[in-house]
Amino acid sequence: EIVLTQSPGTLSLSPGERATLSCRASQSVSSNYFAWYQQKPGQAPRLLIYGASVRATGIPDRFSGSGSGTDFTLTISRLEPEDFAVYYCQYYGNSPEYAFGQGTKLEIK
Amino acid sequence: QVQLQQSGPGLVKPSQTLSLTCAISGDSVSSNSAAWHWIRQSPSRGFEWLGRTYYRSKWYYNYAGSVNIRITISPDTSKNQFSLQLNSVTPEDTAVYYCARVGVGPFDLWGQGIVVTVSS
């Protein structure tokens, strides 16, 4: 079973700053099956990145994903007010079992 | 515009059956390139994938081991929807339940979510 650990638990930044969110897998995984989601209060998650670095349809280019092996990163280059939310990583290579991280809360400083 | 619209009760008594439906618009439950999933989210357990169904010349079903003996996911082609039944619920099944599609990418489309509370 693959376990995903996200860090930090909470990230406090200001609009315009750069955000770097991390996700570590308990074992090496294929980057082809790594995703990031954004979730705002009371809403369903929204797919941001899949295949570790491919932006989903309609996702602004300030969002980027990278990584391989056990370490993956979501970067938001310049934070907009609407970016403050909870972010989850996911590995879907062991289909049909899908592993999610516990989330990083990005809050306004 | 592709959408998933969930419906079902928000309160279920212990030992009874939780039943939810996910109506699809803009896509087909019988699509040969999509799979239809149920996922739940709770503060104590985070996201938990429950199961999926998909059509590739015939219907396929996969369920999480944690709920395997209690869960049924059923497609309804006449109404273009799919449903979740979870039997013998306990308070530990209290969660927000989502339906979702795996299409081009993983979980690229989600329902709005339904808060289900298991309580007498």
Whether residue A94 has pLDDT greater than 80: no
A90 touches chain B (CB under 8 A): yes
Asked if A107 and A12 count as a contact pair (C-beta separation under 8 A), the reply is yes
Chain segment B35-71, per-residue pLDDT in tens: 999 999 999 999 999 999 999 999 999 999 999 999 9
Mean pLDDT, chain B, as a whole number?
Answer: 96
Q: Examine the pLDDT at A97 and tell me if it is beyond 80.
A: no
* Nearest Cα residue in chain A from B61: A96
Choose the closest CB to B110 out of A45, A92, A103.
A45
Q: Average pLDDT for residues B7-31, to the nearest whole number?
A: 97
Q: Which residue did the predictor score with more confidence, B59 or A1? A: B59
Query: pLDDT by residue (tens digit) across A2-55?
Result: 999 999 999 999 999 999 999 999 999 999 999 999 999 999 999 999 999 999
| Paired sense of beta strands B114-118 and B109-110, if any | unpaired
Q: Which residue of B has its CA nearest to A98?
A: B49
Query: What is the amino acid identity at position B23?
Result: A
Q: What is the pLDDT of residue B20?
A: 98
Contacts of B107 in chain A (CB under 8 A): 35, 37, 45, 47, 90, 98
The arithmetic mean of pLDDT across residues B1-8, rounded, is 96
Give yes or no for A93 touching B (CB within 8 A).
no
Reply yes or no on whether the pLDDT at A96 is more than 90: no
At residue B25, the pLDDT reads 97
End-to-end CA distance of chain B: 39
CB contact under 8 A, A47 and B49: no
Mean per-residue pLDDT for B13-32? 97
Give yes or no for A96 touching B (CB within 8 A): yes
Give the separation between CA A98 and CA B42, rounded to whole angstroms: 16
Output the pLDDT for position A36: 98
Could you read off the pLDDT of A58-84 as tens digits, one per residue?
999 999 999 999 999 999 999 999 999
Q: In this complex, do B107 and A90 lie within 8 Å of one another by their Cβ atoms?
A: yes
- Do residues B5 and B98 lie in contact, with contact meaning Cβ atoms separated by under 8 Å? no
A83: three-class secondary structure by DSSP: helix
Q: What pLDDT does B103 receive?
A: 85
Query: Closest approach of chain A CAs to the CA of B78, in angstroms?
Result: 26
Q: What is the pLDDT of residue B63?
A: 95
Chain B contacts to A (CB-CB under 8 A): 39, 46-47, 49, 51-52, 62, 64, 98, 100, 102, 104-108, 110-113
Selected residues 31-50 of chain A with any CB under 8 Å from a CB in chain B: 33, 35, 37, 43-47, 50
For range B106-112, the mean pLDDT? 95
Length of chain B: 120
Could you tell me the pLDDT band of residue B109, with boundaries at 50, 70 and 90? very high
Q: Which residues of B touch A92 (CB under 8 A)?
A: 102, 106
Q: Which long-range contacts does A60-69 make (Cβ < 8 Å, 24+ apart)?
A: A63/A36, A65/A34, A65/A36, A67/A23, A67/A31, A67/A34, A68/A31, A69/A25, A69/A28, A69/A29, A69/A31
Provide the pLDDT for residue A93: 84
